[in-house]
C-alpha cells in the first residue's frame, strides 16, 4: 500500500476562534507535498492533529489509513515528525536523544549507532554528538531535530517549517535533505514560496483554516497565475500594515500580500502599468524598497488565491 | 526504501522502559538531583550535629525505637514531600512548558507509556534520595544504639516509601493539571506540606471527624509505627476549667494508613493519566 496522509473534515476550534475549518486533504503515494499558507493559516494546527499533539474538534486524521486520535502508536509506526521547534532534554547528548527515538521506533540495536552517526553527519552535527544539548543554539537544536526524522527509514515524514531557526546555509542543507527524501511521502509546511517551489512536486494552499487548492505545482501555476503581472518587492525594514496600504494605493496595483517580514508580493494590471513604471512608483514612495524581482508562477498563483492578508 | 522488516513494532511495556531509562538519565545528570541530595545531606548533617552536641532526651533517652522515631519519624515525611514535588511536580507540565514533549510525543508511542515511564524514573530518583536519608539516620542510630536495629524502622521505611509512591502520584496529577511547571511544583509542595495538615487539624479538632480522606493522615503511620505503644486510634483530652472542652485527636492504624495511601496512589495515577491523555500541546 502506498503511504498516505488523509484529513477528513478536520476542524479545530479554540473557544470562539476557528483555527481549522472542515479541511479535506487526501495525499497518496511517494512525493513531496508543500503545505503553504500565510502565518496563522492553520498549517501547524493541521500537523499537530496529524501527529497526536492536539485533538481535532471535529473530523478525522489518518496516516497510512490509521486514525491518529484513536491509535497514534500504530498510525505513526512508519512516520517521522518535526513539529514547530521541539526541545530535547537538556542533559542528554544528541546521540542519547536520538537513540531514545531509535528505541521507541524499533530500529534494531545493531543498526542504531550507524543510523545515528549518519543522521548527525547529514545535518553536520557529528562533532557535537556527545555534547549536552542544553548548551546548543536554536539552530543547532533544530539540526538535531531534523536528524531525528532520518533515523528510522519512515514512509511518511511530516515537517512543520523545518528550516525555521536555521541560518541560510542550514536552510539550503535542509532543502537538500528534503529533496533526497522524495522516495517517501514528505508533507512539509512552509511560508517560503521559493523553498516549496524548489523541493516539492505538489502544493496544498491553506488560508484562514480553509484549504484553497491541492494540486501539482504546474497545475496550480497554470490555473491561478493568469492575468496581470506579479513582482516581489524587498524592503530594508519590516513591512507593516501601513506600508502595505500605501503600496496598495499605487495606481495599477491590484493586490498586495506579505510573503515574509520584509517582502511584499504585488499584482498589477499590465494594461495600466508596465513593470518599469511600477518600479518607479514603488521607489517614489521612499519606503525603503531595496529589491524588485519578477514573481514566479507559484508566487503569482499564491497572490491570486490569498488576498489581503498580513 | 526498506520499509517492512527493518523495524519491529515495539510493545508498550518496552516503551515504558525506554521512557523511564532516558528520563532517569536526564534526572540523574540534572542539577536538581544534586540540589535535592544537598538538601537532605544538610538535614541529615544538622540532625547528626545537633543530636551529637546537645543529646536531647527525646532522642537518646527513649531507646533505639525512640531515637528512630524522633529523627527519621519526624523528618522522613518532609524528605518524601520535597522529593515528590522536586522530581514529579513538573514532570508533565515541563514537557509542555519546555517543549520537550514536541520531541517525544509525536512518535509511535502511547502517551500512557510516556507517563508511566516518567513516573518510574521520578520514583527511582526520589527513592535514591529517601534511601540515602534513611542510611544517614541508620548510621546515627547505630552510633548511639549499636547492634540493635528495631524491626519497626524497616516497617517505617516501607511505609515512607509507600507514601512516596502516593505523593509522586499526586505530584504527577498536579503536573498534568497545570501547564506552568513552577505552579505545579509549588502547588504540590503547598498541598502536601500545609493544606493536608490543616485539613487534618480542622477535621479532628473542630469537626471531630477522623480525617480518613487525607493523605497526610494516612502517612501518619510512618511515625506512628515507631512509638511505643502504638498511639490510640482516638484520644479525647479534656481541656479548660473543669474539663469543659475536649480535644479529639485521631491516629491512623496501620491497615487504615495502608488503605488511604493505596487509594491515593490509584486515584491520583488514574486522574493524572486521564488529564495527560487529554492535554493539548498548544503554545
Ligand atoms: N492555543 C491556541 N489558542 C487560540 N488560538 C490559537 C491557539 N493555537 C493556535 N491558534 C490560532 O490558530 C491559527 C492557526 O495557527 P497555526 O496553525 O499555528 O498557523 P500556521 O499556519 O502559521 O502554522 C492562528 O490564528 C493562531 O493564532
Ligand atoms: Mg506554524
* DSSP string for chain A: ---EEEEEEEEEEETTEEEEEEEEEEEESSEEEEEE--TTSSHHHHHHHHTTSS--SEEEEEETTEETTT-HHHHTTTEEEE-S-----TTS-HHHHHHHHHHHHT--HHHHHHHHHHHHHHTT-GGGTTS-GGG--HHHHHHHHHHHTTSS--SEEEEESTTTT--HHHHHHHHHHHHHTTTSEEEEEES-HHHHHHH-SEEEEEETTEEEEEEEHHHHHHHHS-SSEEEEEEESS---HHHHHHHHTSTTEEEEEEEETTEEEEEE-TTT--HHHHHHHHHHTTS-EEEEEEPPHHHHHHHHHS-S--
Q: Is the Cβ of B15 closer than 8 Å to some Cβ of chain A? A: yes
Instruction: Tell me if B186 is assigned to some domain.
Output: yes
Nearest alpha carbon, ligand 1 atom 24: A40
Residue B223 host element (H or E): helix B221-224
The pLDDT of residue A227 is: 66
Ligand 1 and A41: CB distance under 6 A:
yes
Our count of domains for chain B comes to 1
User: How many interchain CB pairs under 8 A, A with B?
Assistant: 119
Tell me the pLDDT tens digit for each residue of B13-70.
999 999 999 999 999 898 889 999 999 999 999 989 988 888 888 888 888 888 888 8
Tell me the pLDDT tens digit for each residue of A4-50.
999 999 999 999 999 999 999 999 999 999 999 988 999 999 999 99
B237 is in which domain, residue-wise? 12-278
The pLDDT of residue A205 is: 94
CATH code of the region A225-305? 3.30.70.100
Q: What are phi and psi of A112, to 5 degrees?
A: -55, -50
Tell me the pLDDT tens digit for each residue of A131-185.
999 999 999 999 999 999 999 989 999 999 999 889 989 999 999 999 999 899 9
* CA-based nearest residue in chain A for residue B8: A106
Nearest alpha carbon, ligand 1 atom 10: A19
Tell me the pLDDT tens digit for each residue of B132-182.
999 999 999 898 888 888 999 999 999 999 999 999 999 999 999 998 999
Question: Given an 8 Å threshold on Cβ–Cβ distance, is B22 in contact with A48?
Answer: no
Instruction: Tell me if B6 is assigned to some domain.
Output: no
Instruction: Tell me if B68 is assigned to some domain.
Output: yes
Instruction: Tell me if B65 is assigned to some domain.
Output: yes
pLDDT tier at B249, thresholds 50, 70, 90:
confident
Q: What would the mean pLDDT of B246-258 be, rounded to a whole number?
A: 89
Tell the burial category of A74 from Cβ atoms under 10 Å away from its Cβ (0-12, 13-18, 19+). middle
Residue B245 has pLDDT above 80, yes or no: no
Helix, strand, coil percentages, rounded to 5, for chain B: 70, 5, 25
The pLDDT of residue A41 is: 94
Average pLDDT, chain A: 91
Residue B3 has pLDDT above 60, yes or no: no
Tell me the pLDDT tens digit for each residue of A186-220.
999 998 888 898 899 999 999 999 999 999 998 88
Ligand 1 and A37: CB distance under 6 A:
yes
Average pLDDT, chain B: 91
Instruction: Tell me if B283 is assigned to some domain.
Output: no
- Report which DSSP code applies to B227: S
Whether the full predicted model's pTM is greater than 0.80, yes or no, is yes
**Angstroms from B27 CA to nearest CA on chain A:** 8
Q: What would the mean pLDDT of B105-120 be, rounded to a whole number?
A: 97
Residue A188 · residue A200 · CB < 8 Å: yes
Is A295 or A226 the better-scoring residue by pLDDT? A295
The pLDDT of residue A309 is: 46
The pLDDT of residue A89 is: 95
Probe site for chain A from B23, B31, B107, B281 (most A CB atoms < 10 A): B107
Percent of chain B whose pLDDT exceeds 70? 97
Question: Given an 8 Å threshold on Cβ–Cβ distance, is B105 in contact with A84?
Answer: no
- Report which DSSP code applies to B281: -
Which CATH number is correct for A4-222, 1.10.8.60, 1.10.645.10, 3.40.50.150, 3.40.50.300?
A: 3.40.50.300
Q: Is the Cβ of B112 closer than 8 Å to some Cβ of chain A? A: no
CA A304 to ligand 1 center in whole angstroms: 23
Q: Is the Cβ of B244 closer than 8 Å to some Cβ of chain A? A: no
The pLDDT of residue B234 is: 84
Residue A301 has pLDDT above 50, yes or no: yes
Question: Given an 8 Å threshold on Cβ–Cβ distance, is B6 in contact with A108?
Answer: yes
Q: Which atom of ligand 1 sits closest to the CA of residue A37?
A: 21
Question: Given an 8 Å threshold on Cβ–Cβ distance, is A105 in contact with B7?
Answer: yes
The pLDDT of residue A310 is: 39
A109-123, A244-258, B235-249: lowest mean pLDDT where? B235-249
Q: What are the extents of the domains in chain A?
A: 4-222, 225-305
Residue B2 has pLDDT above 60, yes or no: no
The pLDDT of residue B279 is: 96
The conformational region for residue B77 under phi > 0 = left, psi -120 to 50 = alpha, else beta, is: alpha
Instruction: Tell me if B115 is assigned to some domain.
Output: yes
Residues of A in contact with B102 (CB under 8 A): 53, 83-87
The pLDDT of residue B175 is: 96
Residue B4 has pLDDT above 50, yes or no: no
Amino acid at each position: 500500500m502506498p503511504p498516505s496522509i488523509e484529513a477528513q473534515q478536520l476542524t479545530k476550534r479554540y473557544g470562539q476562534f476557528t483555527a481549522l475549518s472542515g479541511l479535506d486533504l487526501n495525499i497518496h503515494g511517494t512525493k513531496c507535498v508543500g503545505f503553504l499558507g500565510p502565518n496563522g493559516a492553520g498549517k501547524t494546527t493541521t500537523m499537530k492533529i496529524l501527529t497526536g499533539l492536539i485533538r481535532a474538534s471535529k473530523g478525522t486524521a489518518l496516516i497510512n489509513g490509521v486514525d491518529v486520535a484513536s491509535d497514534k502508536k500504530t498510525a505513526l509506526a512508519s512516520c517521522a515528525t518535526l513539529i514547530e521547534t521541539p526541545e530535547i532534554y537538556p542533559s542528554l547528548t544528541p546521540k542519547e536523544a536520538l537513540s531514545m527515538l531509535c528505541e521507541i521506533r524499533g530500529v534494531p540495536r545493531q543498526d542504531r549507532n550507524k543510523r545515528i552517526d549518519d543522521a548527525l553527519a547529514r545535518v553536520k552535527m557529528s562533532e557535537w554528538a556527545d555534547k549536552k544539548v542544553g548548551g546548543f543554539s536554536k539552530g543547532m537544536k533544530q539540526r538535531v531535530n531534523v536528524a531525528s526524522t532520518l533515523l528510522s527509514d519512515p514512509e511518511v515524514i511530516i515537517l512543520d517549517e523545518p528550516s525555521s531557526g536555521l541560518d541560510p546555509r542550514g536552510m539550503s542543507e535542509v532543502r537538500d535533505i528534503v529533496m533526497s527524501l522524495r522516495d517517501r511521502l514528505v508533507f512539509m509546511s512552509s511560508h517560503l514560496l521559493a523553498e516549496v517551489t524548489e523541493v516539492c512536486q505538489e502544493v496544498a494552499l491553506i488560508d484562514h483554516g480553509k484549504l484553497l487548492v491541492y494540486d501539482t505545482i504546474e497545475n496550480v501555476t497554470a490555473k491561478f497565475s493568469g492575468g496581470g503581472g506579479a513582482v516581489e518587492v524587498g524592503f530594508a525594514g519590516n513591512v507593516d500594515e501601513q506600508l502595505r496600504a500605501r503600496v496598495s494605493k499605487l495606481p495599477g496595483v491590484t493586490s498586495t500580500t506579505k510573503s515574509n517580514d520584509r517582502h511584499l508580493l504585488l499584482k498589477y494590471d499590465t494594461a495600466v502599468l508596465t513593470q518599469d513604471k511600477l518600479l518607479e512608483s514603488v521607489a517614489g514612495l521612499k519606503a525603503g524598497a531595496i529589491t524588485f524581482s519578477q514573481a514566479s508562477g507559484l508566487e503569482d498563483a499564491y497572490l491570486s488565491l490569498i488576498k489581503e492578508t498580513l | 526504501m526498506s520499509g517492512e522488516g527493518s523495524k519491529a513494532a515495539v510493545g508498550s511495556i518496552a516503551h515504558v522502559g525506554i521512557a523511564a531509562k532516558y528520563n532517569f538519565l536526564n534526572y540523574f545528570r540534572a542539577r536538581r538531583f544534586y540540589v535535592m541530595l544537598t538538601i537532605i545531606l544538610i538535614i541529615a548533617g544538622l540532625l547528626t550535629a545537633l543530636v551529637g552536641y546537645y543529646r536531647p532526651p527525646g532522642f537518646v533517652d527513649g531507646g533505639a525505637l525512640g531515637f528512630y522515631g524522633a529523627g527519621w519519624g519526624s523528618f522522613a515525611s518532609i524528605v518524601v514531600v520535597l522529593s515528590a514535588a522536586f522530581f514529579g511536580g513538573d514532570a508533565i507540565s515541563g514537557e509542555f512548558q519546555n517543549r520537550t514533549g514536541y520531541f517525544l510525543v509525536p512518535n509511535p508511542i502511547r502517551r500512557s507509556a510516556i507517563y508511566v515511564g516518567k513516573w518510574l524514573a521520578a520514583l527511582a530518583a526520589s527513592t535514591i534520595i529517601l534511601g540515602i536519608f534513611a542510611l544517614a539516620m541508620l548510621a546515627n542510630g547505630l552510633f548511639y544504639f549499636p547492634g540493635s536495629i528495631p524491626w519497626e524502622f524497616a516497617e517505617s521505611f516501607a511505609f515512607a516509601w509507600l507514601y512516596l509512591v502516593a505523593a509522586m502520584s499526586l505530584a504527577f496529577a498536579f503536573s498534568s493539571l497545570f501547564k506552568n511547571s513552577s505552579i505545579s511544583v509549588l502547588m504540590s509542595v503547598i498541598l502536601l506540606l500545609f493544606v493536608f495538615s490543616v485539613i487534618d487539624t480542622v477535621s479532628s479538632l473542630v469537626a471531630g471527624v477522623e480525617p480518613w480522606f487525607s493523605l497526610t493522615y494516612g502517612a501518619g503511620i510512618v511515625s506512628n509505627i515507631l512509638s511505643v505503644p502504638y498511639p490510640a486510634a482516638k484520644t479525647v483530652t479534656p481541656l479548660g476549667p473543669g474539663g469543659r472542652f475536649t480535644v479529639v485527636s485521631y491516629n491512623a492504624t496501620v491497615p487504615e494508613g495502608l488503605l488511604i495511601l493505596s487509594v491515593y496512589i490509584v486515584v491520583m495515577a488514574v486522574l493524572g493519566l486521564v488529564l495527560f491523555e487529554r492535554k493539548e500541546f498548544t503554545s
